[in-house]
C-alpha cells in the first residue's frame, strides 16, 4: 500500500496539472458511477488526506480515490494517449481543456486512474463521510495545530496494542505505511511488537512526522531514511532481511505478512538494536536520527 508521502506527491502533481482546467469528457468505468458525467465542470484542485485523494470540482462534487496496493494516476500531455494494452486497467478518465500555458478551450491534459480500487463521487461538503474517521494527517496543513498531540492521545487509547500496528492504524494518525512504521521503530530502538503502553509516544510521533515531511520537501530524499541514496543503503531495516544492520552488523530479521490479517504486515527489525519486549536488552531508547 502506498505511503502517505507517495499519495501527497500524487496529489501535488494532479493539483498542479489539473487545477483551473475544465472537464470536456469524463469516463467512469466502475459500476457505481458508470453514468456519471463531469463534463463542463472546472477542476478546483486536489488534496491528499492520509492515503486518500480528493479531487474537487465546480458545483460541489468531489472525486474520492484510494490507491490501495496497485492503483495509480497518470496525467497525459495534450494529444498523448495511453498504450492500448493499458485500456482494460482504466477506471476513471478525465479529459480537460485549458490549463497552465494553454488558452481557454484548448485541449488540456488528460488524467487517468488505473486499477483504482476505490472510486467515489461525493458531495464536497460531505467529504467527512469518507475521510472523517482518519486521525491527524502528518502532511496536512493542520498538523502543527494540535495534530501531534491528538495523534498521541489516539495512540495511547489502546496501550495493549503493538506500536507498529498502532502506527499503521490510519484512525490514529494518517499517512504512515509499512516502510515508515518499521523505519520509525528502528530509529526509536523499539521492537515492532512493543506494547504502546511501554512507549514514549511524543518522540515517536514527532520523528514520523519529520521523516515524512523530509521525504516530500527535500530533493532526492524521497523515502530515504538513512541519508544515503545508494542502492541498498537507503533504509535501515526495510528490505534488508538477512543483511547486516547498518549500525551494529547484526543480521536483520523479517516476519512475513499474514494474508487477510491487516495487523500482521511484513515486518523488518534488528534483533540487537530493537530487542524484543521483556528481554534483557529491551530499552525502547532511540538509536539516533537517520535524517
Give catalytic status of residue 243 as yes or no.
no
59 by DSSP, 3-state: which?
coil
Choose, from 2, 109, 136, 275, the residue flagged as catalytic.
Answer: 2
The conformational region for residue 242 under phi > 0 = left, psi -120 to 50 = alpha, else beta, is: left
Give catalytic status of residue 3 as yes or no.
yes
Q: Hey, how many other C-beta atoms are within 10 angstroms of the C-beta on 48?
A: 25
Cα–Cα dist 207/183, whole Å:
10
Question: By CB neighbour count within 10 A (0-12 exposed, 13-18 middle, 19+ buried), where does 99 fall?
Answer: buried
Residues whose CB is less than 8 angstroms from the CB of residue 206 and which lie 6 or more positions away in sequence, other chains included: 148
Cα–Cα dist 193/166, whole Å:
10
Cα–Cα dist 211/149, whole Å:
17
Choose, from 17, 22, 41, 51, the residue flagged as catalytic.
Answer: 51
Give catalytic status of residue 266 as yes or no.
yes
Choose, from 153, 158, 266, 272, the residue flagged as catalytic.
Answer: 266
Cα–Cα dist 155/162, whole Å:
10
Give catalytic status of residue 22 as yes or no.
no
Instruction: Give Rg (Cα) of the chain.
Output: 21
Active site residues: 2-3, 51, 266
Amino acid at each position: 500500500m502506498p505511503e502517505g508521502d507517495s499519495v501527497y506527491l500524487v496529489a501535488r502533481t494532479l493539483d498542479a496539472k489539473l487545477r483551473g482546467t475544465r472537464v470536456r469528457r469524463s469516463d467512469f468505468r466502475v459500476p457505481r458511477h458508470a453514468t456519471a458525467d463531469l463534463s463542463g465542470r472546472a477542476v478546483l484542485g486536489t488534496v491528499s488526506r492520509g492515503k486518500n485523494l480528493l479531487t474537487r470540482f465546480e458545483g460541489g462534487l468531489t472525486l474520492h480515490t484510494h490507491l490501495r496496493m496497485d492503483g495509480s494516476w497518470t496525467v497525459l500531455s495534450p494529444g498523448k494517449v495511453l498504450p492500448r494494452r493499458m485500456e482494460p486497467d482504466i477506471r476513471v478518465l478525465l479529459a480537460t481543456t485549458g490549463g497552465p500555458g494553454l488558452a481557454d478551450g484548448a485541449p488540456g491534459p488528460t488524467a487517468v486512474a488505473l486499477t483504482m480500487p476505490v472510486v467515489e463521487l461525493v458531495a464536497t461538503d460531505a467529504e467527512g463521510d469518507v475521510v472523517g474517521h482518519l486521525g491527524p494527517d502528518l502532511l496536512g496543513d493542520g498538523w502543527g495545530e494540535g495534530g501531534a498531540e491528538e495523534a498521541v492521545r489516539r495512540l495511547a487509547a489502546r496501550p495493549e496494542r503493538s506500536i507498529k500496528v498502532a502506527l499503521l492504524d490510519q484512525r490514529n494518525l494518517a499517512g504512515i505505511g509499512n516502510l515508515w512504521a518499521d523505519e520509525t521503530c528502528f530509529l526509536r530502538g523499539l521492537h515492532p511488537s512493543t506494547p504502546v503502553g511501554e512507549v514514549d509516544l511524543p518522540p515517536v510521533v514527532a520523528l514520523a512526522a519529520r521523516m515524512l515531511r523530509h521525504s516530500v520537501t527535500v530533493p532526492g530524499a524521497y523515502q530515504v531514511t538513512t541519508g544515503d541514496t545508494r542502492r541498498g543503503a537507503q533504509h535501515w531495516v526495510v528490505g534488508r532481511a538477512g543483511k547486516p544492520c547498518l549500525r551494529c552488523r547484526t543480521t536483520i530479521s523479517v516476519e512475513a505478512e499474514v494474508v487477510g490479517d491487516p495487523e500482521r504486515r511484513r515486518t523488518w527489525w534488528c534483533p540487537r538494536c530493537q530487542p524484543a519486549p521483556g528481554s534483557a536488552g529491551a530499552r525502547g531508547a532511540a538509536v539516533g536520527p537517520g535524517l
